[in-house]
Amino acid sequence: MMKKLKNWDKKTWLASKKYIRNFCSFIESKKNLKESSKILDIGCGRGNIISELAKRHNFRYRPVGIDIIKHKDVKKNIKFIKKEAKKFLRKTGNYDLIIIKQTIHLMSLKDQKIILKRITSTLSKNGVLLIFSLKTKNNQIPVFKLFKEKFKKSLKRDEIIFKNIKKILGKTKISIFRFKVTLKKVDYINMIKNRYISCLLNMSDREISKGVSEINSKFKNEIKFTDSLKCLTYKK
């Protein structure tokens, strides 16, 4: 069972038009998309990424996005299905591009193996799988003390996950997507209160409140950093 992360793609830099455009351009550098391309986004959130790709390429088939949470504001130009990846992939058609963006770590290691095996069967000939996760070394995301401790453990687990993925899939390539972030401190504090990232999910209100005080002391009115994602590419 995946953890439910509700706010990762709303009211954060991940929902900005600039971020979405840049991210889609990065995807297009990994896979040549055509009008006939079929796309699946696992853990799609509100479908911002595949919605933008659909606008750019006028696909014959609406991109499919699956998630365990259905938001009221899911994009209208995608086909959204509320279902776990393991169940969905048991019986589905073929896709030319499958995206897993910052959700692979929310799945158990057992489920990851099952899902990846099913993805290799689901990808069409020359199909591409892109798995995105936070860059594990020199990550610049602003943190407070407890956040840093949990984040460090999470990144170590991500390293193990990527090693396992490479063993399962075989030949893969690693690249980095970077995006320069500038946001108001008050906006970042609201993101923390909304538990925008998985390592904040199990923190108590008291721990979050203490963390907010630390961020208030640590930063002035504006926060700047580079958001870096590691991208694992597998081509069938």
| Domain ranges within the chain, ordered by starting residue | 13-235
Query: What is the pLDDT, as a whole number, of residue 114?
Result: 94
Rounded to the nearest angstrom, the gap between the alpha carbon of residue 183 and the centroid of all alpha carbons in its chain is 20
For residue 13, the 8-state DSSP code is G
Q: What class is the 13-235 domain?
A: alpha beta
Enter the tokens of residue 98: 């499958």
In this prediction the pTM is 0.89
Q: How much is the CA Rg of the chain, to the nearest whole Å?
A: 18
Query: What is the pLDDT, as a whole number, of residue 235?
Result: 96
CA atoms within 13 A on the CB side of 186: 1
pLDDT tens for the chain, 236 residues: list them. 444 445 555 567 888 899 999 999 999 999 999 999 999 999 999 999 999 999 999 999 999 999 998 888 899 999 999 999 999 999 888 999 999 999 998 888 899 999 999 999 999 999 999 999 998 888 899 999 999 999 999 889 889 999 999 999 999 999 999 999 998 999 999 989 988 888 898 899 999 999 999 999 999 999 999 999 999 999 99
Query: What is the pLDDT, as a whole number, of residue 105?
Result: 86
Query: What is the pLDDT, as a whole number, of residue 8?
Result: 53
Question: Is residue 212 packed enough to be buried (19+ CB in 10 Å), middle (13-18) or exposed (0-12)?
Answer: middle
Q: Which helix (H) or strand (E) holds 140?
A: none
Using DSSP's 3-state secondary structure scheme, residue 180 falls into strand
Q: CB under 8 Å to 11, separation ≥6 — which residues?
A: 187, 190, 191, 194
Query: What is the pLDDT, as a whole number, of residue 2?
Result: 45
